[in-house]
Structure 1
Amino acid sequence: MSEASIQHAQAWIGTCHVVLQPNKIRFWQGQALEALVYVVVLAHSSSDYKHKLYHALQHNGLDLVAVNELQALKERFSSHGMAHDLVQLARQLTPEAPIVFGRFQAIEEAAPQVQATTVPAQDDWLNEDQTKSSNTLATSPWPLPSLQELDWPSVAAQTKAPLWAIIDGVNWPEIQHELEAQDPPHACLYSTLDEENRAMAPWLVKLDPDNPVTERFVEQDQVNHSGIVFSSNQPIKVLREHFRLFTMLWTPADDKSPIYYRFYDPRVLLDSLHTLDDWKIGRLLQPIEQLYIPLSPLLGLAEHEDIDNSVDLFGEEYTYQGRILAVAPQAELPDGTVNSRKAFKVTEREFERFGELHGVRAERQLARELSGEFQLEFSTDSYRLAANMACTQGKSFYFTSQKQVRTLAQSYLLFGTDFPKGYPDIEQLMSSNELLNWQKRQALEEWIPKGIARRNIRNMPKMA
């Protein structure tokens, strides 16, 4: 590249695959959420093109999925000829208008059927009118995976396929820096180029035995729920395209605004295995030969009877290090399953069940936090009871935030399950209409030391 070409911008062109952000206006006809469009940008390089393109798309309510056939417009004309439409786009470029979009072509929602051995491309979709396909999926038999506890050496010895991890940037904030420094084969499951969003993104990482990232993943405190591990012979591009389909989830709560689906959090994944319809479990696990979930004290639930007996909610963190739950699919994915975000939408029943399990996990986590705060001052049953009462009774006091529920749980633990009965000033505080909920919580927290002193005086033995 000459010095002149570095100093002076030129027209670059790419075929851009975009997806509509929630609640934004479409630039194309129909109900499709994705589209293809030629975009011509006045840029100094391909990286400059992508940078400017990303910000222009964000401004217009679009996310970038991929850029294909990116090249300087002169090179494009030289190799493909001077197409009239592209010439017209190029003529609109000026320093004041350095980005020009062509006509958006919607990616219509077709319903191609795929075999169990294939992983479809990301832009294959299910047409809403083709209910026969979706009904077939919902009734396809898919036995729940079997669960077996292993350790890391057994995992390495068990699988012949390469090991991969999907690592949670929220629960392991340093992972992006680690990946940049050690550079194992990896890919972000988000398409965004925004650094703040990428810092919280899930990362697909190949766990090469000789790469330091693998060792550091194994050494991560498993109570942090940093990610999941699986074996697969699929290439990284295919795996990324597959798992990107599941980073967002449509729910009955809002048909137009999907929520983040953090299936790479071991707690969410285990709940999914026991909540989602059978065919959805098969779809999620399609490219996986063997799934491995690092155990933690917060993974046990009555719903997971096959592991609940071996998971102690109040166990020390170090006792879980290196304990891995192997999840083996029990059957091949049924034929006829399609690659569709809309078809994967959770049902009302599934959504309610997820909410129930989330509540149970929040309650269990609170009980564990209380045990850590008060050490051996109370029994484990007391911690469980206080957490349960705070989560269930907190709504009657309009205490719903994490801080509010925690302060209420501390109060039940310290002053008994009939609290605030017997403490008139706090009864008045909790029923006050003049204070906001956060003010009530703050006042309760400040009162607790005085309440302990009053309780202790009340419980002193009386003089004869």
Structure 2
Amino acid sequence: MSSSPHDYWTGRCYLSATSPDARRWAEDADEAVTVVVVLAESEDAMRELLLQRLQEEGLELRRLEAVRTLLQRFRKEGMSQTLLDLADTTSPRSPVALGEMLPILLTPVAPTGELSPPAPPVHYDDIAWPGLFTPTSAPLWAVIDGVNCRDVMERLGSAEVQSACLYATTDSATRAIAPWLVRLEPDSEIRQWLESLPQDQHWGILLQSHATLKQLRSHLRKFTLLWTPANDQAPVYFRFYDPRVALDMAQALEQWKLAAFMAPLEALIVGLSPLVNVPDAANLSDPPHFAATPQEVQGRLLRLTLNESGTERDRDTLSPGRSFAIDQPEFARFGSLQKTRAQRKLARELTEPYSMTPLEEILAAVEAADSLGQRYGMTSGKQVATLVKCVLEFGQDFLHDYQDAKGILNHPSKLPWQKRKLIEEWIPRGRIRRDFLKQQAQTRVIHGAWIESP
């Protein structure tokens, strides 16, 4: 960043173009939204510099929201790499940095009047790979996650397939971890390779669509960024191509938004694994349990299609554009589903060290520890795992019986990571006390029986 004594100011801008040539966004929309970072000595100076820059670009400022310094923003909401990158591009000679401009497209108005209960928006069916290549099936595509499948670029580079990166960047390091859209033929090496990958690797998703590569890429790119209620300054990356997220999406999104995502798709297919949230609406005869082995579900796919009666109108008329956003109820549903997956993952990891403990008891301990973590600010995975050990070994009411442990969690000057460290150091002492109390209880029982015997 610059060493100027001026502050970095940020805000969220709603813009319109004064002419079609000035439009810096792809879709045919009148307005767009972006974040801005301005190097300025005051908020008034920031607004003046921003208006000057927009005028030079042929853009008009319709509204400016959430104006504050970067420091104020970071203190309240945490660091943002997007804003840091924008700040790095500013200088006293070029004080204004504009982020990516995302078009604002109109959202539908909910119909009024009495309506009959809608049909479930999604139909699920259990399927295997051979069932995806019937004579009447739409062409099959894959979106491969470069994060969970690190050799995707190498594989695609040596294969003769239609493929495209969903990110526009030319940086090789970023492309290596980006999502890749690939056309799959029944006898292709890429198809055979993907089928052989462990499904708990969560390498990506499958799509059935008659759209072209260019059309699909253009459509899917609209969903790689997501605005959430947690941050009104910048969107986050939306990993819809992770099968765990894809299934959560089908349960969390409003029906019309899911229809917008599925607009060019005949079906979305995910590989089942122990850690995906299979909805009850799927009605699978043998849904995978979170404690199942990967081998038990390998080769099983779950296909999602839209019920046409409930979504056909939306699919024909809606497109959320690059300004894809979720509201607070959707955000809460995503959070609840993610929490369920995190709890099951932790319970699964604890089945080995606590192999003699029933699985249901382990899961109950995880849920109890999660509540404790919320109460005492210990919410990271490692912190909750430490609390789970306490619940499993000393009981759900261990803070009542072990006041020294309660004192650690209530310590006013200790940070959560320090509390975890102290609790880990306390656990061996807690075991000694537990065993001593247990031995005392047994002695009292034996002594009482000896006194009362004839």
Q: TM-score, normalized by length of structure 2?
A: 0.71
**CA, structure 1 residues 414+204, in 2 after alignment: closer, same or farther (shift >3 Å)?**
same
Distance of 2:34 and 2:170 partners within structure 1: 15
Structure 1 residue 225 displacement after superposition? 1.8
Asked if the contact 2:123/2:282 (under 8 Å) is kept, the reply is no
Asked if the contact 1:138/1:277 (under 8 Å) is kept, the reply is no
Structure 1 residue 126 displacement after superposition? 1.8
Distance of 2:197 and 2:429 partners within structure 1: 41
Distance of 2:327 and 2:112 partners within structure 1: 11
What corresponds to 2:252 in structure 1? 275
Structure 1 residue 303 displacement after superposition? 4.9
Unpaired runs of 5+ in structure 1?
1-14, 34-55, 62-103, 110-124, 128-132
1:459 aligned partner, one-letter code: K
SS in structure 1 at match of 2:391 = helix
Structure 1 residue 382 displacement after superposition? 0.9
Equivalent in 410, 413, 417 of residue 396 of structure 2: 417
Distance of 2:343 and 2:230 partners within structure 1: 23
Deviations 1:384-408 (A, max 9, x none): 1111011122121210111111111
Asked if the contact 1:363/1:388 (under 8 Å) is kept, the reply is yes
SS in structure 2 at match of 1:209 = coil
Asked if the contact 1:293/1:326 (under 8 Å) is kept, the reply is yes
What corresponds to 1:391 in structure 2? 370
What corresponds to 1:230 in structure 2? 207
Equivalent in 444, 449, 462 of residue 423 of structure 2: 444
What corresponds to 1:340 in structure 2? 321
Equivalent in 145, 148, 164 of residue 141 of structure 2: 164
Equivalent in 108, 119, 131 of residue 134 of structure 1: 108
Deviations 1:150-209 (A, max 9, x none): 112222337533211111222222323322343532211111233343233211122233
Distance of 1:406 and 1:178 partners within structure 2: 37
1:152-301 alignment, distance < 5 Å: 152-157=129-134, 160-182=137-159, 184-300=161-277
1:352 aligned partner, one-letter code: A
**CA, structure 1 residues 57+256, in 2 after alignment: closer, same or farther (shift >3 Å)?**
closer
Deviations 1:237-258 (A, max 9, x none): 1110000000111222333311
Distance of 1:179 and 1:58 partners within structure 2: 36
Deviations 1:322-366 (A, max 9, x none): 000111222135333245233x42122212222222222222222
Instruction: Please tell me whether residue 30 in structure 1 is matched to residue 60 in structure 2.
Output: yes
Distance of 1:153 and 1:358 partners within structure 2: 31
Distance of 2:154 and 2:102 partners within structure 1: 38
1:294-373 alignment, distance < 5 Å: 294-300=271-277, 303-304=280-281, 306-307=283-284, 310-331=287-308, 332-334=312-314, 335-342=316-323, 344-373=324-353
Distance of 1:367 and 1:405 partners within structure 2: 11
Distance of 1:308 and 1:410 partners within structure 2: 34
Asked if the contact 1:142/1:278 (under 8 Å) is kept, the reply is no
**CA, structure 1 residues 22+227, in 2 after alignment: closer, same or farther (shift >3 Å)?**
farther
SS in structure 1 at match of 2:317 = coil
**CA, structure 1 residues 58+429, in 2 after alignment: closer, same or farther (shift >3 Å)?**
closer
Asked if the contact 1:152/1:324 (under 8 Å) is kept, the reply is yes
SS in structure 2 at match of 1:456 = helix
Structure 1 residue 136 displacement after superposition? 5.9
Q: TM-score, normalized by length of structure 1?
A: 0.69
Distance of 1:435 and 1:57 partners within structure 2: 35
Give the % identical residues: 34
Instruction: Please tell me whether residue 408 in structure 1 is matched to residue 387 in structure 2.
Output: yes
Asked if the contact 1:301/1:308 (under 8 Å) is kept, the reply is no
Distance of 2:423 and 2:335 partners within structure 1: 29
SS in structure 1 at match of 2:144 = strand
Asked if the contact 1:415/1:455 (under 8 Å) is kept, the reply is yes
What corresponds to 1:381 in structure 2? 360
Distance of 2:291 and 2:102 partners within structure 1: 52
Distance of 1:299 and 1:378 partners within structure 2: 23
Instruction: Please tell me whether residue 455 in structure 1 is matched to residue 429 in structure 2.
Output: no
What corresponds to 2:79 in structure 1? none
SS in structure 2 at match of 1:274 = helix
Asked if the contact 2:150/2:176 (under 8 Å) is kept, the reply is yes
Distance of 1:224 and 1:300 partners within structure 2: 15
Structure 1 residue 21 displacement after superposition? 6.7
Deviations 1:263-292 (A, max 9, x none): 112222222222212111111011111221
SS in structure 2 at match of 1:204 = strand
**CA, structure 1 residues 433+225, in 2 after alignment: closer, same or farther (shift >3 Å)?**
same
1:340 aligned partner, one-letter code: G
**CA, structure 1 residues 208+309, in 2 after alignment: closer, same or farther (shift >3 Å)?**
closer
SS in structure 2 at match of 1:170 = coil
1:323 aligned partner, one-letter code: R
Aligned residue pair count: 364
Unpaired runs of 5+ in structure 2?
1-21, 27-32, 39-49, 64-84, 91-97, 448-454
**CA, structure 1 residues 336+156, in 2 after alignment: closer, same or farther (shift >3 Å)?**
closer
SS in structure 2 at match of 1:134 = coil
SS in structure 1 at match of 2:364 = helix
